Amino acid sequence: MAGKAHYIVAFGLGLMIPFLAIGQSHREEGIVDLNTALDLAKQNYPSIKSKVAGKEAATYELRSMQNNYLPNFIVQGQVTDATSNQVRGTFFPNEGTAIPTSGGIKVNGYTQDAVWTSFATGLVNWKLFSFGKYKAAVDVARAGLTTAEADYQNELFQHQIKVSDAYLLALMLDDMVKSQQSNLARVKALKEVTTAYTASGLRPGVDSSLVNAEYSKGILSLLEARRLAKEQHVQLKELVGITGGNDFLLDTTVFLKQTPQQIETHRDFANNPRLLFYKSIADLNQTRVKAIRRRELPSISLLAAGWARGSGISDKLKDNGDFIYNSSFGAGVPFRAYNYMIGFSTIWNVTSLFKTGNEARGQRSVAKMAEERYNEENLKVAGELERARFRYQAALDVARQAPIQLQAAQDAFDQAKARYDAGLSTILELTQTFAVLNRAEVDASVAKGNVWRSILQFAAARGDFSVFTDNLK
């Protein structure tokens, strides 16, 4: 019987690829139905919460790119105490790290005199025409948000698959435990009768020994079934995002008592969340190519500024031609000169054409990789859908045959027990029917569960919840 338990798990692992999750309408106090398990997983499981955070990050990235349309408005105010020695000539600003000095050139050269100066400015820099660069950046961010949303939907879908399959396997293994309990009860009843027969001399002692061996075998099978069921419940709780506590009390009103109806298997899989995710990645990379090419174009900006300055250096000159320096704070801080500026500016880095050209070609290769990855997933999903059709039909055929096997095994057991009680057969014949009946009970439970799982597999490959929900209706 332990071999049969391993068979169930092996069969389950073979089908533990895209299964659809759907809630059951039946709820009773203390029962965790499939819908409740899926809700708990959505709220608790880390990978799903991670994808939610990814969506939020992509949303803020899009808003940030949209803010690029706003003009830059910069204000500044400063008060400094510094010398103002300078000579005529020019200098390279060294990427803005050189400190500019403004003031009169002293006739007598260098001085240690320092004066207070003040400066305030307001600057507006608004790129009126970016020739599509800003729009391309927004398109990339919007495509990134679409990818993040598709990533979340795919992660949620795939996790619901795992939770649903784990739920069905837990149901099947719980039912297998019940089958082993029934088998042990039958053997125990026979053991009591056989012990009485052998004690009274009506049956040989070997009958009692064989039944005791069968009883021990039944206990081992029950212990193995309980172990497998316990492990499956632990896995289910893990997928739901819960650790510790008692095992879930599962809802058996549908999956173990209701036979699935026929489903329409000739459907496409265009809306499969996994394909939509990989398609969004391919689209995102194509959008990035366009954004890189846009960076080759110039920009036209509207510039407007106003500024004011104050200085402790007087406009009056000494008799020797030097400027008059007043080092007091009150002399240098008040504004003395005001200016404004308005105009247009265009900047075009022509040599960037070489850099962006190579970046665009590299990004096209990345986009090609993403497209072929999508094509690969498309082939995989097509194969999964085709295999799901075959498995569904095979599972349906097995489920139709399992009750016949179970009824025949029950009849064989009843007949063998009647013959044994009448003294017309040996204990070996009866114990053989125990094994046949036990296997038939487990097969019947597995067969019905595998029909539901094959429907889930087909629904998962197609990416359509209604395949399963319509069947429940």
Query: Is residue 27 located within the same domain as residue 92?
Result: no
Residue 76, strand partner residues: 121
Helices (H), 255-351: 273-294, 329-332
Q: Do 430 and 340 share a structural domain?
A: no
How many helices (H) and strands (E) are present in the chain, helices listed first?
10, 6
Write b or e for each residue in 299-311: b if 16 or more Cβ atoms lie within 10 A of its Cβ, otherwise e.
eebeeeeebbebb
205-240 vs 2-15: helix axis angle to the nearest 10? Answer: 20
**How confident is the model at residue 6, as a pLDDT?**
38
100, with CB counted inside 10 A (0-12, 13-18, 19+), is exposed
Q: What total number of domains does the chain contain?
A: 2
Instruction: Quote the pLDDT of residue 255.
Output: 75
CA-based radius of gyration for the chain: 40
Question: Which CATH number is 426's domain given?
Answer: 1.20.1600.10
Neighbours of 283 (CB within 10 A): 18
- 261 and 172 fall within a common domain: yes
Pair 235, 108 in one domain: no
* One domain for residues 434 and 335: no
Residue 293: inside a domain: no
Q: What angle do CA 375, 381, 382 make, to 5 degrees?
A: 90
Shared domain for 282 and 224, answered yes or no, is yes
Sign of the CA dihedral 405, 406, 410, 411? negative
**Same domain, yes or no: 33 and 178:** yes
Tokens 């489903």 — which residue?
263
Residue 104 included in any domain: yes
* 294 located within any domain: no
Any alpha helices (H) in 201-241, and if so which ranges?
205-240
Q: What is the DSSP letter of 69?
A: G
Asked if residue 438 and residue 315 are part of one domain, the reply reads no
The reply to whether 409 falls in a domain is yes
- pLDDT beneath 50: ranges in the chain: 1-29
Q: Quick check: is 270 in a domain?
A: yes
Asked if 161 and 233 sit in the same domain, the reply is yes
What number of residues does the chain have? 473
Q: Is 295 within the bounds of a domain?
A: no
For residues 196 and 95, state if they share a domain: no
Q: Which domain holds residue 82?
A: 77-129+300-347
Query: Are residues 267 and 332 located together in one domain of the fold?
Result: no
Tokens of 428: 């070996």
Is 467 inside a domain boundary?
yes
Domain assignment present for 72:
no
Q: Tell me: do 159 and 264 sit in the same domain.
A: yes
Q: Residue 349 has what pLDDT?
A: 83
